[in-house]
Amino acid sequence: MSRDLVRAAGIGAAIGLAWATSLRAWMSHLAMEFGDWPGYTWSGTFLATLLPAAVVGALIGVDWQRRRDSMRRVPLVVWSPLLLIVGPAVVAEDFIGTLVDTGEGWGAISVVLIGLCGAFAISARGPAWRRVLAGLAALGVTATMLFQFYLAGSGVTPSGVFGGVHLVVLLAWLSLVCSLPMGQQPRATPPPGTAPPERASAETVAARAGLNQPLGSATAKRRPSSRMASPSRAADR
């Protein structure tokens, strides 16, 4: 692995880790909104939240650097945010049962769904109507989360507005980062010290095609062939 790829992986992991710590702070704020004291564990905080986000950031950073270097891209990196669901699912004892019985775990699924749909909506991939539907789905899930967490209880409060703004910023940043693997291949830049290739002018193209020669010269080139063909015709007669 080159030095540029290592640097891109480190920067991506740092960005993912910063986003995950901000997400964990939002979760603590949400717990206090419902009257609970937030708790931190080695498995739930570090293995299920911080580590997957750092891995996703590193993968997206490497993919972005590979695309900048005109290297072969890895299509599976587009689905790397699903690791944000895999982390809690692996750490939890009965993730599926808890998800069905109590609904705990839908938050992680909703965050990843908003991130992927929002990323596809702002990318340049696919038809416009699909991107519009993806954007509407992301906005709909975001509005549902805001209403469920902050508006369905005690109404609008300064603490609730702060938590809502915090959540929207987190989801927007996730969508923006997740859209990087969906972007188009950037043009490769020439190495430092090398001049970019010059485009052939119209005169050069015409000269190569023989279109800028005078009409008399073209006629003169065709006459010898006709004269050389006349003795053979006389012989045939």
Does 109 or 33 have the greater pLDDT score? 109
| Sign of the C-alpha dihedral computed for residues 88, 94, 95 and 101 taken in this order | negative
Are 164 and 216 contained in the same domain? Answer: no
Are 150 and 213 contained in the same domain? Answer: no
Does 147 or 18 have the greater pLDDT score? 18
Are 174 and 62 contained in the same domain? Answer: yes
Are 164 and 211 contained in the same domain? Answer: no
Are 120 and 162 contained in the same domain? Answer: yes
Is the pLDDT score of 237 beyond 70? no
Query: Tens of pLDDT along 35-46?
Result: 888 889 999 899
Q: Is-contact 166 26, C-beta < 8 A?
A: yes
Q: Specify the pTM.
A: 0.74
In-domain check, residue 166: yes
Query: If 0-12 CB within 10 Å is exposed, 13-18 middle and 19+ buried, where does residue 107 land?
Result: middle
In-domain check, residue 231: yes
Query: Tens of pLDDT along 144-159?
Result: 999 888 876 666 788 8
Are 151 and 218 contained in the same domain? Answer: no
Which pLDDT score is estimated for 128? 92
Q: Is-contact 86 52, C-beta < 8 A?
A: yes
Are 68 and 118 contained in the same domain? Answer: yes
In-domain check, residue 172: yes
Is the pLDDT score of 115 beyond 60? yes
List the structure tokens of 176.
């923006």
Cβ neighbours for 58, distance < 8 A, ≥ 6 positions apart: 9, 10, 12, 13, 16
In-domain check, residue 188: no
Are 35 and 142 contained in the same domain? Answer: yes
Angle at 29 between CA 25 and CA 35, to 5 degrees: 145
Query: Tens of pLDDT along 190-223?
Result: 555 555 555 545 555 555 555 555 545 444 445 5
- How far, in whole angstroms, is CA 104 from its chain's centroid? 28
Query: Tens of pLDDT along 166-191?
Result: 999 999 999 999 999 987 655 555 55
Q: What is the DSSP secondary-structure string of 190-206? A: PPTT-PPPPPPPHHHHH
Are 130 and 33 contained in the same domain? Answer: yes
Are 111 and 173 contained in the same domain? Answer: yes
pLDDT-derived band at 84, boundaries 50, 70, 90: very high
- Note down the domain range covering 206: 202-236
Query: Tens of pLDDT along 24-36?
Result: 999 999 888 888 8
Are 44 and 154 contained in the same domain? Answer: yes
Please state, in angstroms and rounded to a whole number, the distance separating the CA atoms of residues 27 and 16.
16
Which pLDDT score is estimated for 117? 96
List the structure tokens of 160.
């609730």
In-domain check, residue 197: no
Are 52 and 158 contained in the same domain? Answer: yes
In-domain check, residue 17: yes
Looking at the structure of the chain, the number of domains it has is 2
